[in-house]
Structure 1
Amino acid sequence: MSTRVHAVTVVGSINLDLIATADRLPTAGETIGGAALSQQPGGKGANQAAAAARLGGSARMVGAVGNDVNGQRMLDALAGAGVDTADVAVLPEPTGTALIVVDGDGENQIVVCPGANSHLTLDGVEFGPEETVLCQLEVVLEAARRHAGYFVLNAAPAMDLPAQLLERCDLVIVNESEYALIPALAEAKLVAVTYGGDGSAMFEHGRKVAEAPSVAVSVANTVGAGDAFCAALVLALRQGVDYAHALAVANAVGGDAVGNPSSQPDLAQLGYYVERTAVAEGAR
């Protein structure tokens, strides 16, 4: 178990991404040739932890991989990004795998084989009251129960959320479709919503209180962009950046991620994005 104090502790999935890049996405029953295959570290949880670490925030990963070559590869990738992996369990089940098809515009189709992720527990894991915990919809209820400090939920994929979970969340992060599919979010204390090319907005109990435009970029891969956005928004807010500026920072980080073919792209330090977006806001 890790005993360090971390800016962000991420509880979530760790996958090997198998990515086929094709001119377009196939329709049902269709076979498309001429695609290029790549393998890279992925999983929403791992992507968010790697982004947080690369942005300069001390990050811890709580997750599970298999006792196999892919599991070791995922651990090495997280450690290489600067993530503390002491609380990543190595289990007999195979490492999770995501099968991803990406078209020429960066849009994707994804099928996830969770493997070891489905057997993740929080046995032996402790959370300090000063930690910020960022979860996706995996072992979120147990994490919410165990952690008394700042708690963030990336509510993806969309599903009904228990009222007690929403009451526990200090921040919920979703995309536009997830916000529409989870009506209960209108009652949540603070929700950040992403709108792709239309930027992002912050809502308090269903009332929009801030927004920020998107950043114009050339799209290479959208798989890890939302995860980079989550990490950046959490770090910015926890450093006291106001809602609108924090959204702008997260949009800039997400934009850089979209322009990179990796699900866990290299990123500048958070301070760079804070300064860059401050200059941009002053110019508007």
Structure 2
Amino acid sequence: SMDYCLWLDADDVLLEADRAAFLTLKETLDPAVSVVMAPYHTGFDDSGRVTFSYYRERLIKNRAGMRWEGAVHEAVAPAGQILYGDFAVTHRKTRPGDPDRNLRIYEAQLAAGKTLDPRQQFYYGRELYYHQRYEEALAVLEDFLSEGRGWLENNIDACCLCAYCQDALGRDEAALASLFRTFAYDRPRAEVCCEAGRWFLARERYSQAAYWYALALTCPRDDRRGGFVSPDCYGYLPCIQLCVCYSRLGDQERAESFNELAAAYKPDSPAVLHNREWFRSLASA
């Protein structure tokens, strides 16, 4: 009955600062705005810092023709004038859900002869990956990519999922090729650079790993593009991994400097504190 509606999951909350920002938005919102996008914080480290977030349509104008779409990971396609809000919704899951629910829904739809749209096809492939059905996930995700109808951010994530599947199947070169495939869609994301760095680091190719982690630090973070964002990839993670790389390469001075850069992002990080003790032991040896 009101001009706008707000959606929340049952385990979503607005923290105190976000509640205040939301109330301010309500008081100042231009009625010409159709959709307010807001960050959705869904992953956290042990200290409560956000490790995974993305923008979602959060405040939606009623009677403007917008509808929920999809049987799983439902979404409203924004239309009209869009505003990016500065309040966030925090997802605080208090107990585990049914891990098979989404996959059951997709397989029931397919069994009934339904054709999945590109967005649902992407998420179906992701569910197959989560269930360690890697060959099936690859087939679905490759079909999704080859059809060329997916959203840019989903295309990039699909390439990464293909890389994870290939890695799980022991196909090292194919995994790396899938990561590099993301560059055909857009400039490098820090998340992808960190995955490339991890690939080389796992194979003790430290110079190449350092190249990709250093590149991650140059990637601009743009949450408003709408894709999944791992904030650690835009600071802490590349720095702490560059510390590892340069230490393994024998450049302890440079390694220590990157550890201190990592500390600027997460001063209480166990890895940072462990590394400090390590460098102290080297200095006193």
* TM-score, L = length of structure 2: 0.27
* Greater Rg over alpha carbons, structure: 2
Larger fraction in strand: 1
Larger fraction in helix: 2
* TM-score, L = length of structure 1: 0.27
